[in-house]
Structure 1
Amino acid sequence: QRKAGLIPAVIYGHGIKSEPLYVLKKDFLKIYKEVGESTLITLEVGGKNRNVLIHDVAKDALDEGIIHIDFYQVRMDEKIKAEVPLNFIGESDAVKSEGGVLVKNIQEVEIEALPKDLPHHIDVDISALKTFDSRIFAKDLNIPDSVKILIQADEIVVSVIPPRSEEELAALEEKVEEKVEEVKVVGEEEKAAEAEAPEQKTGEKKAEEKT
């Protein structure tokens, strides 16, 4: 069916029986690229429109082609939980002027909301990170009142750390070289042991022949 431009799928949800179906590959790829898995979409099944979320997309391990899709049908009056990606915008002075390194501790957050209120993503303005002491916490995220974030308010979302000093970089490089040398020595010891083993067996065999 994949060759015919169709992808097998299933639709299920609260209070409904799961139904197998097929979707047009080109149409799905276009929508999936635009909305991801956290935005409500309308799926036409048997001439009727269903409000669904793209719940799971299974991909081929070899070519990354989509082999199966799970759609979750929602009730518009019932709150649901979903993972929403964070979209980092703006520019940090601590990165631009001080050479700091931006550390994204969280890439997506779990939220709870009515289906119609689900955001496609949540913007995080990193221009607030002006020094190495600056942090953006979960409680700082700009979200509407209709959406509830399901992580700890004091969880760090993004921060900036100072760049490594020349001494730190030199020490790190030295550690890497030590590990490489250690691996090399271990490898040579194993080869030597393997080379000795056949010689010992040959010696044992000759001793047996003499007896």
Structure 2
Amino acid sequence: MSENKLTAAVRSEFGKGSARRARREGQVPAVLYGHKTEPRHLLLGALEFAAILRHSGTNALLTLDIDGEEQLALPKQIDVHPLTRIIEHTDLLVVRKGEKVTVEISVSVTGEAAPGSLVTNDADVIEVEVEATHIPEGFEVSIEGAEIGTQITAADVKLPAGATLVSDPETLLVNVIEAPTEADLESEEEEAPEGEAAEDAAQEAEQAAESEEA
């Protein structure tokens, strides 16, 4: 994992008004806590922090420079505005070298399954316990040539040395099933109107019964 150095200023003003001002000035309000230490309220450079997340993901290990003191930290929660996509706040967890942490790691699928198959992704992350300074950026599973009926679970993901699977080993990640034929799709289209008509009829009958009772 690459080193992500980030300067953090100690935050001296609090409240919604000061947080809005900080964001207007290109800073992200943050709280650093963990290891039974007092929470520290900080300000991070918004552009620098966003660039680290784009490059290393939300599990990026940060080396914070706080008034000349270095502190390792992991993003615990990142609040993003739903419309502007601006990072509004983040919680950071204090970590130490050699310490193990539990994190969610994304799983991507590579390759092409056998002809006539359909690949469904039931989950795209797994939870693992790993040393804080060696968090993988992601895992890959290959379905190259996988036959119909193939299933890939969390237990099938190859973990690096020292990492332990926390997710249920039977968690289904990828399922290779038989692709529907053109006839199957046409049959579904023909059955859909009949099903809708039956549902409408049931609703009309229910409404008629309610009218009679009234």
Q: Do both proteins adopt the same fold according to a TM-score greater than 0.5, normalized to the shorter chain?
A: yes
Rate the CA distance shift 1:169–1:41 in 2: closer, same or farther, 3 A.
same
Q: Contact (CA 8 Å) 1:110, 1:150: kept in 2 or not?
A: yes
Residue 137 (structure 2) aligned to one of 120, 124, 127: 120
The unaligned stretches of length 5 or more in structure 2 are 1-21, 205-214
The structure with the largest strand share of the pair is 2
The unaligned stretches of length 5 or more in structure 1 are 189-211
Per-residue deviation, residues 149-178 of structure 1 (Å, max 9, x unmatched): 112333332121111123321232234434
Greater C-alpha Rg: 1
Rate the CA distance shift 1:26–1:187 in 2: closer, same or farther, 3 A.
farther
Per-residue deviation, residues 113-149 of structure 1 (Å, max 9, x unmatched): 221222111121222x521022223222111220001
Residue 112 (structure 2) aligned to one of 92, 96, 109: 92
Q: Please give the alpha-carbon distance, in whole angstroms, between the structure 1 residues aligned to 2:123 and 2:91.
A: 25
**Count, aligned residues:** 188
Is residue 92 of structure 2 the alignment partner of residue 71 of structure 1? yes
**Other-structure match for 1:146:** 162
Q: What TM-score do you get using the length of structure 1 for normalisation?
A: 0.76
Instruction: Say which SS state the counterpart of residue 171 (structure 1) adopts.
Output: helix
Q: Please give the alpha-carbon distance, in whole angstroms, between the structure 1 residues aligned to 2:170 and 2:149.
A: 15
Instruction: Say which SS state the counterpart of residue 2 (structure 1) adopts.
Output: helix
RMSD: 2.7
Q: Please give the alpha-carbon distance, in whole angstroms, between the structure 1 residues aligned to 2:147 and 2:193.
A: 33
The structure with the largest helix share of the pair is 1
Q: Which runs of 4+ in 1 moved over 4 A?
A: 178-188
Residue 166 (structure 1) aligned to one of 182, 191, 202: 182
